Structures are given as C-alpha cells and as structure tokens.
Amino acid sequence: MREHKSERSITPWRVPVTAEDIAEDGQHFALIADSDVRAAIASMAGLRDLPRLQADFEVTRQGLGGLRVVGRVSAAVGQNCVVTLEPLVNEVEEDVDLLFVPQSAERAGGAEETDSVPEAKWDDPEPLIGGIVDLGALATEFLILGIDPYPRKPGAVFEAPRDSQSDGGPFVALAGWAKGRDDH
C-alpha cells in the first residue's frame, strides 16, 4: 500500500490489514502502541499524555471480500481535572464490533445508484475502502470516542464564586434610563 504524507499526519498509528491477509478461520491482533505513537495521538486528542494504548481484535472474513472486526480498545489517558486543574489518569475501555464491506457490495446491498447519497443508518456496514481496514486508525478512533470530555477528580465539586458586592445586574442602568424617559 502506498502511504500518502497527509494520511500519516492524520493517523499516527497505522496497522493496515486486507482480507487476503486474514486466514479462513480469522486472526487475532494484540496491538500495543509504542511511545512515539502514543505521544502523537495524545497531541492530536488534546491529552496531557497517553501512558498506555492497546487493542485486541479478532478479525474474520465476512462474505465476498468483507471483514468483521470485534474486540476492545483499552488505554490510560492523562488529563487535567476540569474543576481543580490537577492532573489525573482515566481508564478508557471501548468495545468494537464493526463489519466492513467492499463499496461495490455495499451499493448492491440495497442502495440504488442515483445522484443522491443514501442516508446512512447506525447499523450499516462500514465501507472497505481499497480493500484495507486500518486497525491502528480504528483503535485511535475508538479511543478518542471514549475519552471523557470533562474529566473530574473523585470528590471535586465546582462552586461558583460568591459575589461580595451586588451591582444589581446588567440591566440596572437600562432601568434607570427607562425611568428617566418616562418622566419626560
């Protein structure tokens, strides 16, 4: 497979697999991201760090040229608490169960060729583009989907600042202005 420079910058972890690579009875992939890949993914995902990222996938052939990927993505992600700003490490566990089918088979499965793009449904198979499933990119995607966008240390509670002097709010000046207009 020829790798484009822009693809590499978008997907730092690449583990491409084709249907021909997979044995008839399937194949197990135990993937562990190295420190350079973890650093690149942490930067891309806006994490403080990514101490651990691994994926266990069972890949089996499905139909004519399709692949099914079932497994789990597991990681430890370094973030900062949104309340205290203290560093913390959260665990991410995401299950994966996806079916990839060649694009021509996907169209033949019910979508007629028209000028409009058919509406995708949540359980539609994924397109198998170029006959390749990139397990590294898949693991990265599920990791990012599993990251808590508002990480909080246990017991951290947000308390709004107390205003010691009340100025009456933003509409006090308008109320005075309106009162002055009514007097005329």
Each residue's pLDDT tens digit, 18-74: 999 999 999 999 999 999 999 999 999 999 999 999 999 999 999 888 999 999 999
β pairing state of 87-102 and 126-128:
parallel
Q: pLDDT value at position 143? A: 98
Residue 77's domain comprises: 5-111+118-182
Q: pLDDT band at residue 3, thresholds of 50, 70 and 90?
A: very low
pTM exceeds cut of 0.85: no
- Cα dihedral sign, 127-132-135-140: negative
In total, how many domains does the chain have? 1
d(CA 67, CA 47): 31
* Burial (CB count within 10 angstroms: exposed 0-12, middle 13-18, buried 19+), residue 57: buried
